[in-house]
Amino acid sequence: MNEQHDPGHGHSPAAWTAVVIMLVGFTIGTIAFFFEVAWVVWASAALVLLGWITGGVLAKLGYGVKGPRYAPKVHS
């Protein structure tokens, strides 16, 4: 059986950081939308955008799946 190499599928520090920041922004925005606090909704939208940018910057710095600073963990 031919074993294929796992490309990572986002299991990198860059991806995890981006997703955590975006989840926090989305959660805050959802709660603010429920309580009708418009400025917090827009601030959380900016936080989601900041998470996306942070993930891209970290990937460019080498913390992405194919980056030199990323060390994948061995799956057993």
pTM: 0.82
State the pLDDT at residue 75: 65
State the pLDDT at residue 66: 84
> Is residue 11 packed enough to be buried (19+ CB in 10 Å), middle (13-18) or exposed (0-12)?
middle
> Is residue 59 packed enough to be buried (19+ CB in 10 Å), middle (13-18) or exposed (0-12)?
buried
Which residue is it, tokens 């922004």? 25
pLDDT at 14 over 90: yes
pLDDT at 74 over 60: yes
> Which tens digit of pLDDT belongs to each residue from 19-65?
999 999 999 999 999 999 999 999 999 999 999 999 999 999 999 88
State the pLDDT at residue 21: 98
**What is the per-residue burial (b if ≥16 Cβ within 10 Å, else e) of 19-41?**
eebbeebeebbeebeeeeeeeeb
